[in-house]
Amino acid sequence: MPVITTSYISPVGELILGSFQNKLCLCDWKSRQRRKAIDQKIASTLNEPFHQGMDSLLNLSMEQLNEYFAGERKSFDIPILECGSHFQKEVWKALHDIPYGTVMSYGQLAQSMGKPNSTRAVANANAANAISIITPCHRIIGSSGKLVGYAGGMDAKKHLLKHECPDILDFSTS
């Protein structure tokens, strides 16, 4: 059974969605620098190729993303399948615990996981997240309070945070 993929045009850029055995395994930025490496990791982990198409889970994912961007949804209830190491999955699970409308630094996330000396490893795992928005890696900012790297680009990150945190007047970069 292949990984079924389709494109989703969001208000902040094009995403690639992928489902495998009725779980979302991909929701990532098409223009991402590491696009090919991320796709190869997923295909290799699942031992299945990618095929463009549509299924009910991808339809549900698009509906929930539409609701999110319309301001009608603050969390997702899509079954997901994360392809990564044990540590990466721990980080991605911790990202789900960051409430909508709040931000946290890499160091704070590492601390919340009980791994205060793992800030750099947490940052690397965050960068490897292939289920963007739904696994909210955009809620991570630098310890100085400034915006730092995002696979979808800084404009997308700024838009997502303004969408979720309208009371914060300015998110600066570096």
What secondary structure does DSSP assign to 114-141, as a single string?
Answer: T-TT-HHHHHHHHHT-SBTTTS-GGGEE
Annotated catalytic residue: which of 25, 83, 137, 165?
137
Closest Cα to residue 124, out of 147, 90, 157, 97? 90
137 is catalytic: yes
Degrees, nearest 5: CA angle 99-41-67: 35
Adjacent-strand bridge partners of 104: 140
Residue 116: both structure tokens together: 């205060």
- Are residues 143 and 105 in contact, defined by beta-carbon separation less than 8 angstroms? yes
Strands 3-10 and 50-52: parallel
Catalytic residue numbers?
137
